[in-house]
Amino acid sequence: MLVLVAPGQGAQTPGFLSAWLDFPGVRGALEAWSDAVGLDLIRYGTEADAEEIRDTAVAQPLLVAAGLASAYTLFDDPAELPRKVGAIAGHSVGEFTAASLAGVLPHEEAVRLVRTRGLAMAEAAAVTETGMAALLGGDPEVTVPHLEKLGLTPANINGAGQIVAAGTKEQLAALEADKPEGVRKVVALKVAGAFHTHHMAPAVDTLAKAAEALTPGDPQVTYVSNKDGRSVAAGTEVLDRLVGQVANPVRWDLCMETFKELGVTALIEVCPGGTLTGLAKRALPGVKTLALKSPADLDAARELIAEHA
């Protein structure tokens, strides 16, 4: 059973889209989505530096566009995806990639909505200086109360011994000075604010208004929500969850538990892959994993699809 997953913000690196532009349809799709959102996604994905693509309003539509484009290079016919993929999920903004690949939103609508999301979250992040940091190691039962004591939110509970804390810069500095027992390292993330916390509440309202104009379809693939790891069958509920997750923690640990219950045997992470396959290698022993980092990974990915679809 094959699971397809899409990474969240922070996975982007300068020039990561360059090698994909020669594939049939990729450049045309990126140009169309660029026009739709008023953002030159090709330039940002090929020429922009790390600071430019760190901008939330840029990073989010760029990641979703990259994930959509790379996913379809895996199949000779896009219609094969729902027939060959057993389940699909995304981490944070990657949920929009997953929802669109599952048929909940047309690609252009998904990229438009993500552009609105990114702008709203950037605006919310500008109110207070906030950020996020990954904690490596430790026991969640010890770590979570420690974070709450410092006023921080466990914004991503990723499983495999990783929790991401979010809050003000002062709170994160206090965490660096007072790590929870068992935590080996605190790593600042390349994001512009405390995503998936109460700091993002204004962005939820903006996104909810934008979503009112959309008519979602029901997912054509088993869709696993990172709100609680539950499979969601109704498109309207998927859209509601996409709106609400901006200010709610990501429970990727529960998504991986669901993958296990569904009988996952292989997992492919769309471009720019790496983060989620790393977590899966530790949390899902025995499951074959592949990160679609560049077109050089396509042959191996197609072999994995042939074996596990």
Catalytic annotation, residues: 92, 196
d(CA 98, CA 43): 24
- Separation between Cα atoms, residue 130 and residue 149, nearest integer Å: 17
**CB burial string 66-96: b at 16+ within 10 A, e below:** bbbbbbbbbbeeeeebeeebbbbbbbbbbbb
Q: Pairing mode, if any, of strands 87-90 and 288-291?
A: unpaired
Q: Are 58 and 49 in contact (CB under 8 A)?
A: no
State how far the alpha carbon of 244 is from the alpha carbons of 208, 227, 253, 297, in Å: 8, 9, 19, 34
What burial letters (b/e) apply to 41-52, b meaning 16+ CB within 10 Å?
Answer: bbebbbebeeee
- Beta-sheet pairing, 231-232 with 222-224: antiparallel
Sheet hosting strand 153-159, strand order edge to edge: 153-159, 162-168, 130-137, 183-188
Structure tokens, 22: 């020669």
Task: At 188, list the tokens.
Answer: 């600042």
Q: How is residue 291 written in tokens?
A: 């990160």
Residue 127's alpha-carbon distances to 2, 120, 123, 217, in angstroms, are 42, 11, 7, 35
